[in-house]
């Protein structure tokens, strides 16, 4: 089964209640961003330091894991800090059973403001002032029904259907009687229930998800509403059985706040709170990120690696030069008499008034004729005052 990596509206409903209990009355101390995660460092009303992780297209949760903090904030984070830092959290709520969380904040002046997290599509988070004016957002865009633009009034997206939490039996029966869709599609499109939970309602009703609506009896329609109502009551008032579901190979499939019949035969691990389950589930997905050292340590390691590599190369060069110089020394010692004769010829020629250029030309001619003492000669460098001899295709410079 395909992994479920993004929060459903059911997940948002449960995590919102848990976060509201933990964060209300707390203060946002700082804001960081690491890759695609936003981290709010919060001091709770009980003086406990906690980290709120926000991945704007999938999840929100408090984490017990230590994520590396970047040394330098981005321009966006520096701007966001101006709006969020030192703000008190008045409440955490869900908007209309949608995948939208609202952190209601207050400033020093007790002015009410909001930090809104949208977990649908590519996700977004934004700060609005007391007039619902957008002051800053992660991304700006024009939509068919609303605009998310700087200094524009924020409008919530339109909700789909009549609403899972509020729909009445009479409304449901009227709606389903006028539909010809498959059952699972009807629930997703008209009641605002995600595909997975639409399937769960079908299973709890004892009906195939692909059942055509127009083939249902009145009793079956009422049974569907009853299954919805029981699921709704379990979500709002029942016991939370937060769990991670695993496949046969022991790999994570998804994390849920409730026990779903859809995964009855799967292996599960249970947690006391949904937040704990979410934290463990996503920490596995963030494993590489959690293993990364922070920027300072990482930079120091890379610097030391470069230094070590440079030193190793230098040592290798010294070894090669050492062997080469030993070879040169042996050669010079073995040909000492020939070299002494060559230097003597050059010295005597200089005494007789010959220029370096004339001596160089004369020795080159002597070498061509294979005259004794000239076989090692290569050339004279008049600029440096050095004689060049050749050993195994390697040139050696000797001072005159």
Assigned fold of 9-159: ibrinogen binding protein from staphylococcus aureus fold (2.30.310)
Closest CA to 377 of 350, 346, 348, 347: 346
Longest dimension (CA), the chain: 129
**Burial group, residue 62, by CB count within 10 angstroms (0-12, 13-18, 19+):** buried
Angle CA(228)–CA(242)–CA(17) in degrees, nearest 5? 75
**Using CA atoms, how far apart are residues 279 and 341, in angstroms rounded to an integer?**
86
pLDDT at 208: 96
Q: Contacts for 368-375 with beta carbons within 8 Å, 24 or more apart?
A: 372/341, 373/338, 373/341, 373/342, 373/345, 374/342, 375/338
| Residues facing 125 on adjacent strands | 117
SS3 state at 155: coil
Strands (E), 290-385: 377-381
pLDDT at 377: 74
CA dihedral for 284, 1, 35, 37, sign (positive or negative): negative
pLDDT higher than 60, residue 294: no
- Mean pLDDT within 234-253: 92
pLDDT tens track for 145-169? 899 999 999 999 988 777 899 999 9
What's the Rg (C-alpha) of the chain? Answer: 39
pLDDT at 320: 76
How is residue 182 annotated by DSSP?
B
pLDDT higher than 70, residue 127: yes
**Using CA atoms, how far apart are residues 204 and 218, in angstroms rounded to an integer?**
17
Closest CA to 116 of 107, 133, 108: 133
Confidence grade of residue 2 (pLDDT, cut at 50, 70, 90): low
Same fold, 9-159 and 169-236: no
Tell how far CA 141 is from the center of its chain: 23
Strands (E), the chain: 27-34, 37-43, 49-55, 59-63, 88-94, 100-106, 112-118, 124-128, 134-137, 141-142, 147-148, 243-246, 252-256, 267-270, 377-381, 386-391, 394-399
**Residue % of the chain over a pLDDT of 90:** 58
- Mean pLDDT within 27-44: 95
Right CATH number for 169-236 from 3.30.450.20, 3.30.365.10, 1.10.1200.10, 1.10.8.50?
1.10.8.50
Contact 143, 155 (CB under 8 A): no
Confidence grade of residue 304 (pLDDT, cut at 50, 70, 90): confident
> Tokens 């459903």 belong to which residue?
8
- Mean pLDDT within 185-197: 90
pLDDT tens track for 350-366? 888 888 788 777 877 77
Confidence grade of residue 81 (pLDDT, cut at 50, 70, 90): very high
> Tokens 């008049």 belong to which residue?
382
Measured between alpha carbons, how far apart are the two ends of the chain, in Å?
Answer: 84
Domain map (residue ranges) of the chain: 9-159, 169-236, 298-399
Contact 271, 304 (CB under 8 A): no
**Using CA atoms, how far apart are residues 8 and 28, in angstroms rounded to an integer?**
26
- Mean pLDDT within 63-82: 92
Contact 116, 133 (CB under 8 A): no
Confidence grade of residue 372 (pLDDT, cut at 50, 70, 90): low
Confidence grade of residue 232 (pLDDT, cut at 50, 70, 90): very high
Closest CA to 62 of 328, 250, 278: 278
Neighbours of 345 (CB within 10 A): 18
> Tokens 């009855």 belong to which residue?
264
- Mean pLDDT within 372-388: 74
| Helices 295-334 and 336-351: angle between axes, nearest 10 degrees | 80
- Mean pLDDT within 115-141: 94
pLDDT at 1: 63
Residues 6+ apart with CB under 8 A from 25: 44, 45, 88, 89, 90
**Using CA atoms, how far apart are residues 286 and 51, in angstroms rounded to an integer?**
15
pTM of the predicted model, to two decimals? 0.71
Neighbours of 394 (CB within 10 A): 11
pLDDT at 302: 74
How is residue 60 annotated by DSSP?
E
């Amino acid at each position: 089964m395909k992994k479920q990596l993004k929060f459903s509206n059911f997940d948002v409903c449960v995590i919102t209640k848990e976060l509201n209990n933990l964060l209300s009355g707390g203060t946002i101390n700082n804001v960081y961003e690491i890759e695609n995660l936003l981290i709010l460092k919060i001091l709770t009303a009980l003086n406990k330091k906690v980290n709120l992780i926000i991945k704007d297209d999938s999840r929100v949760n408090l984490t017990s894991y230590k994520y590396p903090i970047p040394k330098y904030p981005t321009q966006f984070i520096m701007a966001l800090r101006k709006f969020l830092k030192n703000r008190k959290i008045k409440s955490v709520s869900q908007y209309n059973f949608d995948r939208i969380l609202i952190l209601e904040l207050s400033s020093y002046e007790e002015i009410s403001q909001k930090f809104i997290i949208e977990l649908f599509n590519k996700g977004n988070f934004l700060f609005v002032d007391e007039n619902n004016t957008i002051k800053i957002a992660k991304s700006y865009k024009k939509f068919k029904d609303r605009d998310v633009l700087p200094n524009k009034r924020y409008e919530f997206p339109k909700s789909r259907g009549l609403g899972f939490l509020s729909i009445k039996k009479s409304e449901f029966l009227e709606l389903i009687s006028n539909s010809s869709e498959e059952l699972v599609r009807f629930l997703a499109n008209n009641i605002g229930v995600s595909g997975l939970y639409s399937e769960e309602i079908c299973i709890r009703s004892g009906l195939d998800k692909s059942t055509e609506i127009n083939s249902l009896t009145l009793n079956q329609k009422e049974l569907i509403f009853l299954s919805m109502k029981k699921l709704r009551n379990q979500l709002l008032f029942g016991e939370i059985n937060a769990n991670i579901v695993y496949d046969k190979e022991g790999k994570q499939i998804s994390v849920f706040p409730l026990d779903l019949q859809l995964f009855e035969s799967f292996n599960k691990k249970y947690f006391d709170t949904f937040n704990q389950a979410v934290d463990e589930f996503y920490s596995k997905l963030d494993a590489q990120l959690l293993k990364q050292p922070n920027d300072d340590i990482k930079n120091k390691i890379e610097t030391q690696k470069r230094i070590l590599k440079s030193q190793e190369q230098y040592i290798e060069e010294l070894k090669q030069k050492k062997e080469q110089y030993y070879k040169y020394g042996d050669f010079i010692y073995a040909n000492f008499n020939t070299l002494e004769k060559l230097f003597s010829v050059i010295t005597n020629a200089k005494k007789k008034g010959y220029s370096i250029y004339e001596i160089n030309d004369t020795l080159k001619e002597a070498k061509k004729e294979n005259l004794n003492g000239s076989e090692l000669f290569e050339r004279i460098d008049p600029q440096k005052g050095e004689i060049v001899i050749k050993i195994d295709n390697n040139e050696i410079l000797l001072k005159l």
